[in-house]
Amino acid sequence: MILKNKSLQAVQSPQAYAGQKQEQDVAFFLRRAFKDHPQVLVINDFKFSFNDETAQIDHLIVYTYGFILIESKSIKGQVKVNQQGEWTRSHQGNWFGMASPIKQVELQQALLLQLLSHYRSEILGKLLGFKQQGFRLREWDHLCAVSSDAIINRDTMPKQISEKLVKTEFLVDKLNEIMNLKGKFTRLVNFTDTRPDFSQDELNSVADFLISHDIDKYHSQTQCEASEPLVSTHKAIEQDEIVIDSESLQQAAKPQPVMQLQEPHPPYQAPQNNVAPQLKLLCKHCGESADYQPMYGKYGYYIHCNQCTKNTPMKQDCPQCQSKHTRVQKRQETYTLNCQECSFSQRVI
């Protein structure tokens, strides 16, 4: 199941175009393989913050047994990795050093594990009612998906790096090998597979938590309908050994016309006095407005009232346009309600 698609951006440099194309190609293969798979949840272009650190994961897979992080890398030419794990790539007959994408995704994985572990009691339930479940013993894997036309020199490459480096068209095969998914009945009777697994409710809870922590507030919810990966034509721009169509690049950089959709009702008109309506977060059971604790659970953020010990969702209708299409997002200790209809945004805690 695809929870978030790759967000397209207007790019101008050949390097940026090639990088975005590679991420789109990877997203295409993931969509074709897992868009209808309930046990495999895909989040493309996931950016999050925790403990004053920020990370961006090109493609994140959450599945029954754990997590797989994928770093997309556009490489045309040869790539080598020596026994010290140092990467080099070729360009017009010359060799240049490059940062290790494996090290990069390892740092992203470490921060993601810290985030999930910090909120484990709010995301996962307790095993047999008393033992708190966690994330450290889940399966954690990471891969680097490189362009299909890259030449990979595996003869001198360390085995542990070669196993994590895969061309785009072979990515799904590698993922299926890593995940080794089984049906529910097979999991119950197979005693040789000792991997701890998420229930479907826990899997959905993890996904809801991650989406709520995505920094991109207004990412597109519509799945890309492209039927094939982007293919570059062979015209006369070549830089860093990336061949692209110069006319397409110039066209992509221009502002594109916006399709006008007929509104089912007139758009909301803001009050002339420009005074933003104020949000009031109260316990819906006893009306308490101060003595509560913000928490996160299966259905999102909520407050736990210390007076009546009951819970109230933070999510509410937009006070400006009354839309129900709102989201609560957390930044450190601040909780904000954001409306996806009129862009209203206001702190609730």
The whole-number pLDDT of residue 174 equals 97
The whole-number pLDDT of residue 225 equals 40
Confidence label for 276 from pLDDT (cuts 50, 70 and 90):
low
Q: How far apart are CA 146 and CA 166, in angstroms?
A: 6
- Cβ atoms of residues 233 and 248 within 8 Å: yes
Contact residues for 328 (Cβ-Cβ < 8 A; gap 6+): 212, 300, 301, 314, 315, 335, 336, 337, 338, 348
The whole-number pLDDT of residue 295 equals 83
- Cβ atoms of residues 206 and 116 within 8 Å: yes
- For helices 171-179 and 14-34, angle between their N-to-C axes, nearest 10 degrees: 50
* C-alpha to C-alpha distances, 44 to 5, 39, 221, nearest whole angstrom: 5, 16, 12
Confidence label for 47 from pLDDT (cuts 50, 70 and 90):
very high
Q: How far apart are CA 307 and CA 281, in angstroms?
A: 15
Higher pLDDT pick, 16 / 48:
48
Q: Which tens digits make up the pLDDT trace of 191-237?
A: 778 888 898 889 999 999 999 999 875 444 434 444 344 444 333 32
User: Given a cut of 70, is residue 246 above it in pLDDT?
Assistant: no
User: Given a cut of 90, is residue 275 above it in pLDDT?
Assistant: no
Looking only at the bridges linking them, the beta strands covering 53-63 and 66-73 are: antiparallel
User: Given a cut of 80, is residue 157 above it in pLDDT?
Assistant: yes
What pTM value is reported for the model? 0.62
Burial class (CB in 10 A: 0-12, 13-18, 19+), 46: buried
